[in-house]
């Protein structure tokens, strides 16, 4: 009976995972459209960023890369039925996500100190805020997914559901990690 319930749970969760992939594809298209818009604007106007990216961006990149590693470790612990370690690595991943979020907000302050404002005569510079702001919305969504997976690990859901929540949050978290690395490299290549 329990085996049949697990198989039924797995079948019921498959369409939800497909929806997550659709959300990721739509998000990917949003970031592709934003970077394409930047390329068209800066190419047509002849105005690039004309600024150097603040050093805090490299630190936030390291933070998010480490958070990907802790997410992998949390998923591995969940598969090995080591729930205490799963929870620990989820807590660390959430903390790193919050740290990344704070570092990005701090980067906005650094940009303002450098004279790079959201509203200015060089709209190319405004794209920095648009890219990072849109990404922060995705980070917030990812943190909420991680918190949901953490809560589910504390309430003793069936293992198939526990792994499902871990997989869903992991897929999304790795996506936002990859998107940030793409955006950071894109900004670095266009900074001058």
Q: Which structural domain range is residue 175 located in?
A: 2-189
Q: Determine the pLDDT at residue 5.
A: 57
Q: Determine the pLDDT at residue 183.
A: 95
Nearest Cα residue to 176 out of 67, 78, 72 = 67
Q: Fill in the DSSP letter of residue 119.
A: S
Please give the average pLDDT of every successive group of 10 residues along the chain, which has 192 residues.
56 79 93 91 74 92 97 96 96 98 96 88 85 96 96 88 92 96 92 75
* 148 vs 64: CA distance, rounded Å: 19
Q: How far is CA 152 from the centre of its chain?
A: 21
In the chain, the number of structural domains is 1
Nearest Cα residue to 95 out of 49, 21, 147 = 147
Please give the model's pTM, rounded to 2 decimal places: 0.89
Q: Determine the pLDDT at residue 121.
A: 74
What is the separation, in whole angstroms, between the first and last Cα of the chain?
64
**Residue 35 belongs to domain with CATH number:** 1.20.120.80
């Amino acid at each position: 009976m329990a085996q049949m319930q697990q198989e039924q749970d797995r079948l019921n969760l498959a369409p939800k995972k497909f929806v997550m992939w659709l959300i990721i594809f739509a998000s990917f298209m949003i970031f592709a459209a934003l970077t394409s818009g930047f390329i068209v604007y800066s190419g047509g106007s002849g105005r690039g960023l004309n600024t150097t990216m603040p050093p805090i961006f490299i630190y936030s990149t390291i933070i998010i890369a480490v958070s990907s590693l802790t997410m992998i470790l949390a998923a591995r612990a969940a598969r090995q039925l080591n729930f205490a370690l799963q929870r620990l690595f989820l807590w660390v991943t959430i903390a790193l996500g919050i740290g990344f979020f704070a570092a990005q907000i701090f980067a906005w302050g650094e940009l303002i100190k450098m004279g790079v404002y959201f509203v200015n005569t060089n709209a190319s510079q405004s794209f920095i805020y648009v890219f990072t702001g849109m990404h922060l919305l995705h980070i917030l969504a990812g943190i909420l997914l991680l918190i949901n997976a953490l809560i589910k690990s504390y309430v003793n859901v069936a293992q198939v559901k526990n792994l499902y929540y871990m997989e869903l949050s992991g897929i999304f978290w790795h996506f936002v990690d990859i998107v940030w690395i793409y955006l950071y490299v894109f900004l670095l290549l266009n900074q001058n």
